[in-house]
Structure 1
Amino acid sequence: MSAESTPGPGIPGGPGTNGSRNSAKGRRRKPRSKRHKGLLIAAWTTAGIVVLGGTGAGYVYFKLNGNIKSVDIDSALGTSRPTKVDNGSENILVLGSDSRSGKNKKLGGGADDGSARSDTAMIVHVYKGHKRASVVSIPRDTIIDRPECTDTKGVTHDAANGVMFNSAYSTGGATCAVKTVESLTDIRMDHYLEVDFSGFEKLVDELGGVQVTTTKDIKDSESHLNLSAGSHKLDGEQALGLVRTRHGVGDGSDLGRIQLQQAFIKALADQVKHIGVFSNPKRLYDLADTATKAVTADSKLGSVNSLMSFANGLKGIGSSNMSMVTMPVRYDPANPNRVIVEKSKAQQVWTALKNDRPIPKAATEGNATGEARGVVSSGRE
């Protein structure tokens, strides 16, 4: 089975599409409809592993609680934010990030300068009743106007026009990332979750690897990945290479990589189920210890108890009632390696989420697309 599925924008069973930018060589691809399942499992899987460890003895609770890093987004951003819509829904900004130092220097391929960047950004919208959800991926190379923002150290960063989306995180961290997303969407982010690259690698190793099947060879020297077509049990380093590769598959686009990430998350969820994590206290603790060290959350989620409550409210959402789209974008006429927001279509997406409604099909059609669908699937299907 591939990462493709039937759920559509906002409502399971409807058609949906993914957008992507073109390759680093400037090639343009004909848009085509794409339907995917399960990226939301990324947040659920991480949160679930984290919080279940909190049901143990006092030492375990305090140990895990001490692992979790938190950031006080509300205090840093103040009151100049979109109004919370009280309709029973929730919006969570989920980022995958890496620092540019220590262990992550090797994993991220960057300079050892202590800086950081976000490689993956998703708005997870949980509908009223917590039975279904939509995920909107934001391409990191989207050209946007970044608002002025103040980071958690009290440093104010000037606004900037015509910059890449992921510059928000590298400039001012989590608070500037949230501020930028809220400026872009006019939607209040209720929560923030961030997963670190090195922690992701360790998590996969704690699981004993993840089984995947590839339909073609994937080779990318930049992400240290060399997989032949067929079945593989990826260790943490290989898994990280897979979810980070851009040049080894499809048209080389950043959003082609997003499609690989979706497929891998499905395989990760299958692996968790296969090894019986929740019936093995020792393995569960080891996973929880690793996961809590990898997670940064907003202060409202920054404890085992809070994460437990959060995850319990989401456990009813499975891959069959999730849908995923990419923020509507088109190629930037000034730079074919960047994308710009399709404002009218994007507004349809934001309006739907603010009103807790399905994302309209029209908003997801005719956008820039990627070429990596179906290359990777769960090896246990």
Structure 2
Amino acid sequence: MAARDARDGRGGRSKGFKVAGLALAGALLLGFAAVGWTYWHLNGNINSVDIEGALGDDRPARPATVPSPSASPVPTGALNILVLGSDSRSGEENRELGGGDSGGARSDTAMVVHLDAGRTAATVVSIPRDTLVDRPSCPLESGDSTREASNAMFNTAYELGGPVCAVKTVESFTGVRMDHYIEIDFSGFAKLVDALGGVTVTTDVDIDDDKSHLYLDAGTHHLDGTEALGLARTRYGLAGGSDLARIELQQNLVKALLEQIATTDLLTDPPRLYQVADAVTGSLTTDTGLDSLGELTGLGRSLGGLAADDVRTVTMPVDPAPWDPNRVIAHEPDAGDLWESLR
């Protein structure tokens, strides 16, 4: 009897281990499935545009590059990225946040992000939307092309020809090759800020803007996503409705957002990490060189040594247009010198 009890005990433990093992295996399978679904979902969120294919060789030359050290697991070469903020993914969310309707899209924010070789410093150059430029002819998906135009407002390039024309126009008046293109829409930016728990910014002036729906006293404020988007878009609540004053707010917001990301330990909070990743990928349009989660992750890993204090923000030097005080033109030779430093 004792022997039977001993055998039954061993059998019970064996059965228990078997059930536990099956449960663990099931959990692992579910875990792998969840990871697989998450990767598939996030990867599928990203829209892309074939800039290279559309523009071909009619572009500024790529700068000579120094190969990354063999020990480096990520790229370390210099990089130029055109970053646009837009309402191109039209829909109810964007309209509620002040975006356009399904009849068109706008690009109110344009920045050239230059990453130095080694990826330990960056320069962010804001381009005023009211800058008058010579807009080149751009290819369209239909096979037609847009017309060339002199003294055209910079942001009309995106409105008429989308990302391809935005890139070609920037390359045309800067002489700088854009290695990548990233566009984030209104609602996605707001979701990203909310996923990070908001962002803290300081303003030196009162803001009272009915168009961006933002009302703030001068001082330090912790903003949610909708408020942060309002800050990025506010213009008419500032002195003279200046686009240059808005750019200064945008640059301060970018630095504050970088600091928020740096102080948020996403790796120890998987739900928030997923929320942030979903917000980012769900609002992105990129060139085909960055249109996968792996490529975006690789870019992010290469910036691991970049702190907010290592990011310099500047605005392209401009002067009021002599024939239109509501428009600006590049101030030379300073603007040319700035772009030369990024080549």
- TM-score category (smaller protein): 0.7 to 0.9
1:101, 1:60 → 2: CA distance?
24
Structure 1 gaps of 5+ residues are 1-55, 355-381
- The equivalent residue for 2:13 is none
- The equivalent residue for 1:64 is 42
Q: Does 2:255 align with 1:277?
A: no
Which amino acid is the alignment partner of residue 72 of structure 1?
D
Query: What displacement does 1:101 show?
Result: 4.9
1:349, 1:216 → 2: CA distance?
29
Largest Rg, 1 or 2: 2
User: In the alignment, which of 329, 332, 335 is matched to residue 340 of structure 1?
Assistant: 329
- The equivalent residue for 1:106 is 96
Contact 1:203–1:290, Cα closer than 8 Å, also in 2: yes
1:92, 1:273 → 2: CA distance?
21
Query: What displacement does 1:337 show?
Result: 0.9
More helix by share: 2
Secondary structure (helix, strand or coil) at the match of 1:194 reads strand
Which amino acid is the alignment partner of residue 59 of structure 2?
R
- The equivalent residue for 1:73 is 51
Q: What does the per-residue CA deviation read over 1:284-310, in whole Å, with 9 as the maximum and x for residues that have no partner?
A: 011111110011111010000111111
| 1:131-142 paired onto structure 2 within 5 Å | 131-142=120-131
Secondary structure (helix, strand or coil) at the match of 2:166 reads helix
2:37, 2:199 → 1: CA distance?
30
Contact 1:141–1:339, Cα closer than 8 Å, also in 2: yes
1:327, 1:159 → 2: CA distance?
23
| 1:1-381 paired onto structure 2 within 5 Å | 57-87=35-65, 88-99=77-88, 101-108=91-98, 110=100, 112-354=101-343
- The equivalent residue for 2:27 is none
1:250, 1:314 → 2: CA distance?
36
TM-score by length of 1: 0.74
Q: Cα gap change, 1:321/1:346 in structure 2, threshold over 3 Å: closer, same or farther?
A: same
Q: Cα gap change, 1:178/1:164 in structure 2, threshold over 3 Å: closer, same or farther?
A: same
Query: What displacement does 1:322 show?
Result: 2.3
Aligned positions, number: 298
Secondary structure (helix, strand or coil) at the match of 2:151 reads strand
Is 248-257 or 168-177 further displaced after alignment?
248-257
Q: Cα gap change, 1:153/1:199 in structure 2, threshold over 3 Å: closer, same or farther?
A: farther
- The equivalent residue for 1:35 is none
TM-score by length of 2: 0.82
Is 199-208 or 138-147 further displaced after alignment?
199-208
Structure 2 gaps of 5+ residues are 1-33, 66-76
Is 345-354 or 294-303 further displaced after alignment?
345-354
The sequence identity of aligned pairs, in percent, is: 53
- The equivalent residue for 1:13 is none
- The equivalent residue for 1:52 is none
In angstroms, what is the RMSD of aligned CA positions?
1.9
Q: Cα gap change, 1:216/1:326 in structure 2, threshold over 3 Å: closer, same or farther?
A: closer
